[in-house]
Structure 1
């Protein structure tokens, strides 16, 4: 018996709707075309993650040029024009055949390495390469109904995971053991590895307990973790899970490329009054932001509300950990999408945004408490992806 291939094809009309929005932005900016190469963006506009270049002109049909694997790209993508190429020379020849003159061509300069930029610059002459990464991220920031359904699927898997956590945790087990059980549970249900756009921000699984959830790392987030060694100094380590300490489960399952992000706190036995009070403050902050975040409101104003509540609680110095100045971030194909709810970062709430709100308090040598939930911005405000998920600390 032959196993059925597990593949998810983005609908044709979905791809062309996204491409149409991008083409409109390119025309307004006076850019002839864009050459998309980054994996998440390539998947967003073409439906495939094969080794390929997608040329999107301001008018007409895009061209997907595939080096490897052409056959799989044909299976994945619903685009009309898909061709096989062998080299940069082939790519350049095809682009030269579609574009004329010395106008502008857009690329994702936020992620493109300098050595590759130099090759593209030479290949694309006399065209001028300009940055369109911001435009792409803004388009991706507003999710379509299809994408929202994908996110709901990921959220459903998250709810299943949290329901099973009490069956996985054992007092005295290591964080790595718990992480392995959770990862196996998710993996056999189709979980994929999350993507993150920022340079050198490799992602690890934040399943942490006690002091290790407050152990600093390079990661641009409120929690860190020791990791298993200095070559991967983040996330779960060999620390054993003990009593009367917070156990943080911060995980974003990924299905069909799309991820959500949620955090819950567990404990064997009660936590100190201080930690409980800080956790309840985090819940109040999340609920207040969820009420206030209506379309048109500026994200920096939401951040200011959160900071004000943290200061009133007396725990401000522990809010959001080490050098972190945000309380929420977008999710979708990548963990660090727009919008960002951050200090001095102005961005208006719009329907279709998806935001992971994560007010947390980090206490060195004691642990982390707080919450994270992913929300959809609607015309009426924020709608949680998992409405029934309990956000109180679960005492085991």
Structure 2
């Protein structure tokens, strides 16, 4: 966490701000506070200055906070409202110029503080933490690698259960169970199991539909390990499939491998998308590719950078991204193949290549 706080302190110096303030209200779901401090609870305020950091929370989370945040000062707000408490402490420390991430700290929270401290200056930097979180530390990469290892192992254990007559929902529940059995502490998201025509829905919800011979099954899932997630997709054949489905599968595989091959630090993120689309265009399938090629992953399953046709940023060493082209044809089905990769100076490291991408027939 120290490395993460140092990033904030550097920005404070660059912007000549006195402090960074992050509100983490009940059920906000944002991982920013945990990213900076290690605190996993909710209902807290984190104040980071150029010299130190302070976490404000109430009695429900006090013991947890003191265990989780290490050297960060933890203060019990007691019976005061957060607004009153922050007023006293900001005034005491002469903190007048406050930096916030407006995408995480709400307008209403800011207004409440302004009511308490009339001469405070709020500087808004939307998506500040999303940008900071793009580059992973070595410790974060180790956790992402572990989450990916768990996913690969669980998928291999799922394969014998993929057969004619089992339902999508059965496979989804079995996969969830296997993820936990293999070491997951949670799910990155609810697994997507989409067979036959349901495969034409990129984010299909598993149903009672039973697998049939000659179908493809799209399986998109991920594990959560110590708050970091994996994301991978494989498409499996249930028995022998038609030449049409085989062509679609091989075309998506060619596109996905071509996209993975060019990933490296310094290239435009949009170039990865462009390469995948070029391959699918060659096979007259590009019009069925209806989403972006990928995204960053970390504490959340969708982070920066975006790997899309309109992405304006370049890839950077230490980012962890997905490459997941897909083809979705109504009344026929779909194919998606997805890996998670660490961007390196001269290429990438595939975290999910421990599972075969050539068509698996069950």
> Quick check: 1:48 aligned with 2:39?
yes
Q: 1:100/1:369 Cα in 2 relative to 1: closer, same or farther (>3 Å)?
A: closer
CA distance in 1 between counterparts of 2:211 and 2:113 reads 51
Q: 1:79/1:212 Cα in 2 relative to 1: closer, same or farther (>3 Å)?
A: farther
Structure 1 residue runs of 5 or longer lacking an equivalent are 1-14, 195-202, 216-222, 226-234
**Equivalent residue for 2:232, pick from 246, 250, 262:** 262
Is the Cα–Cα contact under 8 Å of residues 21 and 46 in structure 2 kept in the other structure? yes
What displacement does 1:112 show?
Answer: 4.2
Is the Cα–Cα contact under 8 Å of residues 339 and 355 in structure 1 kept in the other structure? yes
**Equivalent residue for 1:127, pick from 117, 120, 124:** 120
Is the Cα–Cα contact under 8 Å of residues 260 and 356 in structure 1 kept in the other structure? no
State the SS of the aligned residue for 1:24: helix
Is the Cα–Cα contact under 8 Å of residues 37 and 108 in structure 1 kept in the other structure? no
Q: Give every structure 1 segment of 4 or more consecutive aligned residues whose post-TM-superposition deviation is greater than 6 Å.
A: none
Q: 1:292/1:190 Cα in 2 relative to 1: closer, same or farther (>3 Å)?
A: closer
Q: 1:156/1:123 Cα in 2 relative to 1: closer, same or farther (>3 Å)?
A: farther
What displacement does 1:123 show?
Answer: 4.2
Is the Cα–Cα contact under 8 Å of residues 25 and 135 in structure 1 kept in the other structure? no
> Quick check: 1:365 aligned with 2:331?
yes
Q: 1:119/1:276 Cα in 2 relative to 1: closer, same or farther (>3 Å)?
A: farther
CA distance in 2 between counterparts of 1:124 and 1:392 reads 62
What displacement does 1:84 show?
Answer: 1.3
What displacement does 1:177 show?
Answer: 1.4
What displacement does 1:120 show?
Answer: 4.2
**Equivalent residue for 2:154, pick from 148, 161, 164:** 161
CA distance in 2 between counterparts of 1:35 and 1:388 reads 42
Does 111-120 or 76-85 show the bigger shift?
Answer: 111-120
What displacement does 1:255 show?
Answer: 0.4
Counting matched residue pairs gives 351
Does 255-264 or 282-291 show the bigger shift?
Answer: 282-291
CA distance in 2 between counterparts of 1:327 and 1:120 reads 41
1:12 corresponds to which residue?
none
Give a deviation string over 1:119-147, Cα, whole Å, max 9, x none: 34434543233333422212110000000
User: What is the correspondence of 1:68-83 to structure 2 with a 5 Å cutoff?
Assistant: 68-83=60-75
CA distance in 2 between counterparts of 1:123 and 1:185 reads 51
2:129 corresponds to which residue?
136
> Quick check: 1:206 aligned with 2:154?
no
CA distance in 1 between counterparts of 2:87 and 2:246 reads 60
1:20 corresponds to which residue?
6
CA distance in 2 between counterparts of 1:100 and 1:33 reads 7
Is the Cα–Cα contact under 8 Å of residues 282 and 370 in structure 1 kept in the other structure? yes
State the SS of the aligned residue for 1:158: helix
1:302 corresponds to which residue?
272
Is the Cα–Cα contact under 8 Å of residues 293 and 323 in structure 2 kept in the other structure? yes
What displacement does 1:306 show?
Answer: 1.8
What displacement does 1:50 show?
Answer: 1.3
CA distance in 2 between counterparts of 1:242 and 1:119 reads 58
2:220 corresponds to which residue?
250
CA distance in 1 between counterparts of 2:90 and 2:331 reads 57
What displacement does 1:171 show?
Answer: 2.1
What displacement does 1:346 show?
Answer: 1.1
1:185 corresponds to which residue?
178
Give a deviation string over 1:306-327, Cα, whole Å, max 9, x none: 22222111111111x3xx2x20
State the SS of the aligned residue for 2:186: coil
Is the Cα–Cα contact under 8 Å of residues 300 and 343 in structure 1 kept in the other structure? yes
